[in-house]
Amino acid sequence: MILAFLTFFVISIDDDSQTTIFCVCENSADTECKSVCKGKVRIGFTPSDIKKGLKDNFAMHAAFVICGTTEDNFPSFDLHDIRNITAIFRSATMKKEYMSLREGTAGKTTRHLFTNLNVKLVSGHYDFCQLDIRQVNFLQPVDPTDVSFTQKTLSIDFSSLASLPKSVNHHGPSHGLHIMCNESVDSIQFGSDHHIVLGTKSGIEAHMDLSQIVKGHNTTIQLCARLINMTFSKVPTRLDEIPRITFVLRKSAHIFINSDQFPDETMHIPNINFLHRSRAVYFDSPNGTIPPTFKHEGSGTVFKNNQMSIFYNHYCICDGAKIDCENKCKGDRIVSYDIESLDQTVVGNPSKEIKYVIFNSKSDKGKHPIFDLEHFGNRILTVIGGTDDEHIEFTGDATDDIGSHSFTRVKIHGKHLLFPEVFLHDIKVDIPDLSENETYVINATYLKSDILSLQRLNEANISFIAPIHGYEIHTNNLLRHVSILLHSQEQVQIENIVFPLLPHTTMNIFCGGSLSIERKPNLHNLRLFPKLRIYLEGDYNSISFPKEQWPESLSDISAKMTLVHGVNDVYVVGNYDGQTYKTKPPIVSHEGSGAIYFNGELSNFKSSYCICGSDNPDTCYSACDKYGSIINCTSEDILSTAIGNPTRNINYYVVETAEFGSHPLFDTVHLIDKSFTVIGVGASQYISLQGSKEYLFATTSVSHIFTNVNIKLKDPGFYFFNNVEFTKCSIYKGDKVDKGSENTYNIVQSGLTADMFTLKSLKKESNGLIYPSKLYFHANGGKDLVKVQADDSKHITVFDNTDDDDIQIDISMLTNAVQITTSHGYSIDDPFIINIDENAFNKPSEIPKMLIDVSNVEGDDAFVKFTGRKWKDGFHNLTDRVTIVHGQLNIHLLSKQSKSGKYTQQPPHVTLDGDGDYYINLIKQASVFAPGNHENGDDDDEPKTIYIFTALLLVLAVLTIMAIAAYYSPYWHRPGEMKPSLQANHNEHNDYENSYNNHSSNNLSNHDKFEINHDEYSESA
């Protein structure tokens, strides 16, 4: 058996002289076909354009590259026209383009591949030979019951399969099936007549009939989940009740056989094969049962719960004389170096934390332990060398896991360095020599290490992949002086090592008392400065910025660099020649009770100030007693506390102001790169903001917070912020300017958080006052926010618990989901409401993405009700549009009730984030699969219910008569018509590209003249 594992495939068409490449394109505002179609045969969208293109350019192998489509304008292909062509249909870019396909029958040796597309099927029958589908979203046909298709072989990913409308009549393949599942697919249910159901925790499921697979061919299903629940609708008593399936495990897995005890006849099931390579498999079953034995292929260890192990959280890995190991291991459980012994310590181990100490290891193969990191992906793993000459090796990839690994005093062999969060301490390396065009990398989600270990990795020519959560680098007690060179926002050099850095992450550096920082000349913009947090652990700490004077644009880098120094003093100096300071160092933020000096001068800045609006000194002293040094309200006084202040965030407490008295004036232009918080003490206080006539850009690391203040925008213009938060604030415009002058006020920000009080103030003043947010919008509603309504793709409306007007929010520029936090919804009689109007949206993808947080609702339960439309067809699955965070609370999803109080339909499926129980219409969901959608409407009434009940009684009577007839007539049987074989209950809009598997020569064969080049699967991909 030959198996090819792939994480992605590249269609190699540009160098294939036998393949004609058609560029199917029409010009639009976003698409210029001349540029996209360069070197390709360009054709239009109409069926006649496509027919003419095929007629003028005869091809046995074709690639249709599609671009410039919209939901209403897309190419229409006829399967009859391409019946003898082996063809690829794909989007020209990463964006999913649209196309429709009309019925037809494909040739017996053809192959058709559809990838990264929205596909609309028109009524009729489709008959394919070899069919490949990747990242396709099937659109709802006008009449899905009039659509059917068959194919000889099928290769498809789960998200595409789940998007197929369940009413489409899809007959299963006969000569091979391959399904690629992502990590969310964690449930497999075996039904009767070789039916299976693949499902996710969020309720997405796909039904499959495998009964059409002929002898000599197989079904292959690739699984990526670590914990898999396998159920049987009834316990099989014969092997022929179980379909032939090969499950390819991409990770070590715990498989729970959630079933009653199997009889002896089916305790060994060769029909089901688990291909696991070096990955371990642990089969588990309910108490009192023994799981059946399946066929399995691979070198990894296979365990069953009838092979009980005694687990520990401390082990000693030692080989040699028993008495020697016992003396060194000091009572810890001793295990040997072989992989199976090591697997037995972790696979099925309930401990979250496992620690190993290694003794007597050697560099020779088989003389040191090999850790499969995937076994420890979600665990806290600690490995320590018992001496200075211990050895270790790794296999597997844990970079997509959330564990934390620590390795101390060992020499690493091999080339697999793919960790979750990892801490390396006193590590040596012995890496194989690199072949030509080969590179070795270390990849971790968060990399912590001492500098000497990192230098050894660097000297071994191991490249660093930028960790998604940043670095923690320790140099103290190892280097007396540390030199840092700042290349860019994405590159920082420490000594001779250049570290790649992601823009949103922070590099944490621990060092002793001496540090110098330089920059590359092209680094002169604070917005492109890397984020650094430096922990100074010396008794005397000196930070120098030698050489030339830094530019004015970098005179204050406190938004990007912080010095943490505790009780010890820190000295920040520029270029010093032994007598005088030739340059001024930039202002950096600091945290600590010790003093900070700039070029020898003590910084007297504070982190908190009190701004008093009273003319009476005694009043100010009394009011400011607990809040810091007193300053006046003028812009100059406020700026004097901020410019040059090495505090990252300055707190300003405002007291004793009045509507018609003196107001503190904050100059947002000069404070654009300085984080500050303004808090009104006691009754709501008054402040003013000064804006700009010119368009500026705020630094990404800066935040501004306003609480309990009335904010006057002094003059027309722009008021710039990066992240801004308003709580209990009233915002209003200043005095109007002369007629004819520019009278526009705009609060421009990347992200905005506001409570209902502030949002109502903004609406009252002007709907256009707040410029639409780009990164995030967060409505922090508390108990006041009782309802959210999706108006259209660019607007939502939030409602409070009063009779005041609703508040519409413009989200037209938002790149992420709009965030709604509410404490409302503790009662079934007064739930939080999500309203999605039936007439506002034609398809689910038009609904704006929303993240609803109800985790702070009082009590143990949160109730969320969906209104506005019928939740059926594509609108029954909103998992990629709505996420509800409920934390530890039980979440109740409700739909509209009829006049009799009954729930007449199911609410839509949404993504849930929380550990509490899940209820639909007050019924607890014991299974990961939510019930199907009822077809009853919201307007069902009592008489209609009576008619339905009467009809059900009649149907029951007919079924009873049929059952009696069947009992007395052994020759009576059901018609032998073929049933629909492939159904998907819900859409799943998560784009997912997983590996492609050509399982055996009898399964999915490539056409001999048509090439799809695949990149061989790499564990480090």
CB burial string 639-676: b at 16+ within 10 A, e below: bebbeebbbbbbbbbbbbbeeeebbbbbbbeebbbbbb
Average pLDDT of the residues of the chain: 84
pLDDT in tens, 153-163: 999 999 999 88
| Contacts with 535 (C-beta within 8 Å, 6 or more apart), sequence order | 508, 509, 510, 511, 564
Is the Cβ–Cβ distance between 199 and 908 less than 8 Å? no
Rounded CA separation 558/674 (Å): 8
pLDDT of 922 strictly over 70: yes
pLDDT in tens, 212-244: 888 888 899 999 998 999 999 899 999 989 999
Terminal Cα-to-Cα distance of the chain (whole angstroms):
24
Give the Å distances, CA to CA, from 26 to 10, 47, 75, 99. Answer: 25, 14, 9, 13
Determine the average pLDDT of the residues in 194-210: 88
Position 954 confidence tier, pLDDT thresholds 50, 70, 90: low
Rounded CA separation 560/843 (Å): 43
Position 446 confidence tier, pLDDT thresholds 50, 70, 90: very high
Determine the average pLDDT of the residues in 273-286: 88
Is the Cβ–Cβ distance between 259 and 285 less than 8 Å? yes
Residue 467 DSSP class: P
Is the Cβ–Cβ distance between 137 and 987 less than 8 Å? yes
Is the Cβ–Cβ distance between 342 and 370 less than 8 Å? yes
At 940 the pLDDT is 39
pLDDT of 612 strictly over 70: yes
At 442 the pLDDT is 95
Please tell me whether residue 209 adopts helix, strand or coil conformation: strand
pLDDT in tens, 840-880: 998 898 999 999 999 999 999 999 999 999 898 888 889 88
More confident residue, 67 or 265: 67
pLDDT of 484 strictly over 90: yes
More confident residue, 921 or 1021: 921
The H or E element spanning position 942 is: helix 942-968
Determine the average pLDDT of the residues in 332-340: 89
Alpha helices in 281-369 (DSSP H): 322-329, 339-346
At 753 the pLDDT is 95
Rounded CA separation 923/931 (Å): 10
pLDDT of 15 strictly over 80: no
At 338 the pLDDT is 85
More confident residue, 972 or 142: 142
Rounded CA separation 776/795 (Å): 14
User: Looking at the whole model, is its pTM more than 0.85?
Assistant: no
pLDDT of 987 strictly over 70: no
Rounded CA separation 586/573 (Å): 9
At 352 the pLDDT is 87
At 381 the pLDDT is 96
| Contacts with 427 (C-beta within 8 Å, 6 or more apart), sequence order | 407, 408, 409, 410, 411, 412, 449, 453, 456, 457
At 12 the pLDDT is 40
Position 149 confidence tier, pLDDT thresholds 50, 70, 90: confident
Is the Cβ–Cβ distance between 26 and 68 less than 8 Å? yes
Q: Whose CA is closest to 796, among 783, 812, 782?
A: 812
With a pLDDT cut of 70, the percent of the chain lying above it is 87
Determine the average pLDDT of the residues in 488-503: 94
At 128 the pLDDT is 94
Determine the average pLDDT of the residues in 562-569: 92
Determine the average pLDDT of the residues in 872-892: 90
Rounded CA separation 1021/1009 (Å): 29
At 215 the pLDDT is 83
Contacts 24+ apart (CB under 8 A), 184-187: 184/225, 184/990, 185/158, 185/223, 185/224, 185/225, 186/225, 186/227, 186/228, 186/229, 186/928, 187/228, 187/229, 187/230, 187/231, 187/928, 187/929
pLDDT of 438 strictly over 60: yes
Residue 793, sorted as left (phi over 0), alpha (psi -120 to 50) or beta, turns out to be alpha
Sign of CA dihedral 751, 523, 457, 410: negative
At 952 the pLDDT is 55
Rounded CA separation 901/829 (Å): 12
Rounded CA separation 516/132 (Å): 58
Rounded CA separation 562/571 (Å): 13
At 511 the pLDDT is 93
pLDDT in tens, 960-970: 555 544 444 44
Position 742 confidence tier, pLDDT thresholds 50, 70, 90: low
Beta bridge partners of residue 793, listed in sequence order:
none
Please give the structure tokens belonging to residue 938.
Answer: 């919201």
The answer to which of 387-396, 444-453, 598-607 has the lowest mean pLDDT is 598-607
Alpha helices in 601-656 (DSSP H): 617-623, 635-642
Rounded CA separation 35/97 (Å): 17
At 1013 the pLDDT is 35
Q: Whose CA is closest to 370, among 396, 348, 399?
A: 396
pLDDT in tens, 422-437: 999 999 999 887 777 7
Ranked by mean pLDDT, the top range of 289-298, 539-548, 949-958 is: 539-548
Rounded CA separation 492/561 (Å): 13
| Contacts with 321 (C-beta within 8 Å, 6 or more apart), sequence order | none
Cα atoms found within 13 Å of the Cα of residue 194, Cβ hemisphere only:
20
**How many CB atoms lie under 10 A from the CB of residue 288?**
7
Rounded CA separation 1017/1021 (Å): 7
Is the Cβ–Cβ distance between 610 and 624 less than 8 Å? yes
